[in-house]
Amino acid sequence: MNIESEILLDLNRRQRMGLDEAVYCAGKSVEHILEILMQVEARSDRILLTRLDKSQFDQLPEAYRHRLDFDPLSATAFFPDRHPQRSLDQVAVVAAGTSDAAVAREASRTLEYNGETPLHIVDVGVAGLWRLMDRLDDIRRAKVVIAVAGMDAALPTVLAGLIDAPIIGVPTSVGYGAAEGGQTALKAMLASCASGLTVTNIDNGYGGACAALRMLGAIAPVSYTHLTLPTITE
């Protein structure tokens, strides 16, 4: 079996649901990633790569590395570029600590790829509440807020009690033993007393950004023109 036969890209996804397909690179070989890039290039299309680590990036041919907008902190890449900018600061990505920065950056990069340039704020966790209060007016101007936090994950609940915009909580795996790799943060957000708090999976900055894009309606409207959907039979 050749590599080409193992890849079936969903390049019409934006037509169905308003979001491009994103390629999760963890667990994929460099050969698989290269084949994906070649298929996207052949279609004159673009794609977002997530969880692309530095070693995978370094092993790609130089001709493709030069065309990738690669960010090592978030392990994301745009190929060959992002969608044109639609708006500025409609979404605020707010991270509790610098240890949460990689996940927060994944969220911001996903937004940027889709044409939304976010307000990006890091290190405003509740252990020093004054830091958050100093940026509260800036955060309140956003239409949607993505709150990224590990450990006790109190940040999304605090924000949800202070502002009227939708809050998307992204728990991270940051923290000592009892944090249990993000399980404590996830359960704290799910058990929040703040009404209407949306919660993603652990470390899923990409998912938080996609939820924000759907809330905004900032992505292209779904069009079913000339789109053939499969027939489901029992």
- The predicted model gives 191-197 an average pLDDT of 91
pLDDT in tens, 130-151: 999 999 999 999 999 999 999 9
pLDDT in tens, 34-49: 999 999 999 888 899 9
Mean of the per-residue pLDDT values of the chain: 89
| Residue of higher predicted confidence among 55 and 3 | 55
The class level of CATH for 87-216 reads alpha beta
For 137, phi and psi rounded to 5 degrees?
-65, -40
State how far the Cα of 2 lies from the Cα of 18, in Å rounded to an integer: 31
| Per-domain boundaries in the chain | 8-79, 87-216
pLDDT reported for residue 224: 41
Identify any residues that bridge with 93 across adjacent strands, giving them in sequence order. 120, 146
pLDDT in tens, 148-178: 999 999 999 999 999 999 999 999 999 999 9
Percentage of residues in the chain having pLDDT higher than 70 = 92
| Residue of higher predicted confidence among 200 and 15 | 200
Residue type, 50: T
| SS3 label, residue 145 | strand
State how far the Cα of 71 lies from the Cα of 67, in Å rounded to an integer: 13
| DSSP line for the chain | --GGGG----TTHHHHHSS--EEE-TT--HHHHHHHHHHHHHTT--EEEES--HHHHHHS-HHHHTT-EEETTTTEEEES-PPPP-EEEEEEEEESSGGGHHHHHHHHHHHHHTTEEEEEEES--GGGHHHHHHTHHHHHT-SEEEEEE-TT--HHHHHHTT-SS-EEEEE-S-SSGGGGGGHHHHHHHHT-SSTT-EE--TT-HHHHHHHHHHHHT-SPPP--TT-PPPPP--
For 38, phi and psi rounded to 5 degrees?
-65, -40
pLDDT reported for residue 188: 95
State how far the Cα of 123 lies from the Cα of 100, in Å rounded to an integer: 8
Model confidence at 218, pLDDT cuts 50, 70, 90, reads: very low
State how far the Cα of 163 lies from the Cα of 194, in Å rounded to an integer: 11
pTM above 0.85, yes or no: yes
Model confidence at 1, pLDDT cuts 50, 70, 90, reads: low
Residue 171: which H helix or E strand, with range?
A: strand 167-171
Q: For 23, which DSSP code?
A: E
